[in-house]
Structure 1
Amino acid sequence: MEITMKVRENFTSKQHQASVCAYYCRFATAQLASRSIERQIDACDFYAQLNRLVPMQGRHIFVDHFTSGLEPDGPALAALLEAARSGRVGNILVSDIDRLTRDATRRIEIQTEMAALGVVIHETGGRRGRYEVSDAPTPYATRHWFKGPSQRAATIGRQRAAMRGVHLGAAPYGYRCVSKGRLEINEPEAQIVRWIFERYEEGLSAAEIARLLNSRNVPAPGGRYWGERKILGRNTDFAAILRNPLYVGVYVYGRTERVFQMIDCRRLRRRRIRDASEWIYVAAPDLRILETELWHRTVRRHGGVVDGKAAE
């Protein structure tokens, strides 16, 4: 009985530790002091809220003042690592991995030690997410993804706007913009959306539906003609009619991000799909066009994505 209770207590303790976080911030010059620290803490607060992480009891913000990233560990970083070693924190949040240290060798040492302890390091800025040892740059690395500081700030601003229900980007088919970031249902197009879902449920393929729409001279989104891609698209293509959850009142933001890639000293811009755990879901019941049951039946047929997971 005593052994069972101890095992249960250890499990509960580890489970609690996995959700506890602490922030690490650093600045090197007086000119960037207050503004830099505010931005770093702001990014960590937003990330912790988004991922349901709980700040460590007592001191959870560790700040090294006037400390270069190339210098040895500052007193605040040493205190944070000691808290991680004692099991009081399970997640370390930094706005950018360079805040932790700019020494790649020391960075790998810290990450390796923390990984062995079960402590996860998170970047809360533009890249956002868990930082793995394999992500550490090497002197010979020629391919990597990166974002500049202005892009990171803009990314966080857009994420907050999306969480307030502001629509970012062009209006999807079936809607129109009434003001900046605000949509309303375009009833003529909404009728076409319902018709497409009903025909698809009857067994017609996306290509057959596209041919019917073109034969009736129904204007396609973006002009030109209807095609299979505009109706069905790919698995994570929410711009396609049959895959857009906005039609059942769910706005999804942050599926993709624009980043730059260095390939052989050339700077190329790319768009990549984020992990589904980073997508932001916002309820928009006033934008519902379809019944939920019809939507789920359609998704089950084409095996699409529901809440970031393939439909069963």
Structure 2
Amino acid sequence: MRILLTGTGGQVGGALLPLLRDQHTVVAPRREEFDLSKPETLAGKLEALKPDLIINPAAYTAVDKAEDESALAFLVNSDAPAVLARWAAAHGVPMVHFSTDYVFDGSGRSVWREDDPTGPLSVYGRSKLAGESAVRSAGGAHLVVRTAWVYAAQGANFMRTMIRLAREREALRVVSDQWGTPTTARTIASVLVEILGKDEADLSDVFAHANGLIHLTNSGSTSWHGFASAIVAGLRSRGVPLKAAEVVPIATKDYPTKATRPENSRLDLTRLREAYGLVPPDWERALAEELDAYLDTVGLTPSAAGT
């Protein structure tokens, strides 16, 4: 199968690339070659590439910056996916598109199911919801994958920021009243590859099992403070020298941001289990794996980190 994979410079795209290349021909154009901020150029490029499957993890993800760059956010997160989805539908090509917990308003304490009412609080969330709608309304075979709190050993993300700050500061102040599930790009990629490898010959049938929409995170949940505390504890247990002596819980109001974040970002994974028989590993186990990968990335092994 010939797969067009966008966003390979990002965390999810970067994690998907080696897994997909094991079994398929993957076309992974650089951003300047396949620019989602110029949706008018994409149909012609798709005609030239002729993919059998489109996977689109690329997105505008600067949540706070999007409040001032709404036009750009909507170009990348809504207009471009609309072009991809319309081309895919017209050519009988299935499409996987990634979305976010930010399509919900974060109210209440229940985990969010796929068919719960949406209500994004930010430009970023609204642009991603518009992208979902565009993919769905194109009418082709599709799977929208909502995920949350994504991080990896590489790239710019919460785990790597906490590692840096824990080595620079005596105390970390981290929000404790926003809840969700830290999710590794590695988990997202491996689960999606399993879904794509299901026995049915037609991916439209595979995607139909989930009504074209699933939630995909690691299992379990915590707060940002809980996540940060687990990162620090994991580093200490691996012998990494840290300056930070404590992780201090703070309220969202004590850490104001331009874009409003959902307080409750926990996504229900029932449909993933029932449609595909898949249960992602819990977030603590995934974090342990990612910390080891990080230490390897920066040239340290767990046993040598403290030397």
**Is TM-score (shorter-chain normalized) higher than 0.5?**
no
* Bigger proportion of residues as strand: 1
With normalisation by structure 2, the TM-score equals 0.32
- By relative contact order (CA 8 Å, sep 6+), the higher-ranking structure is 2
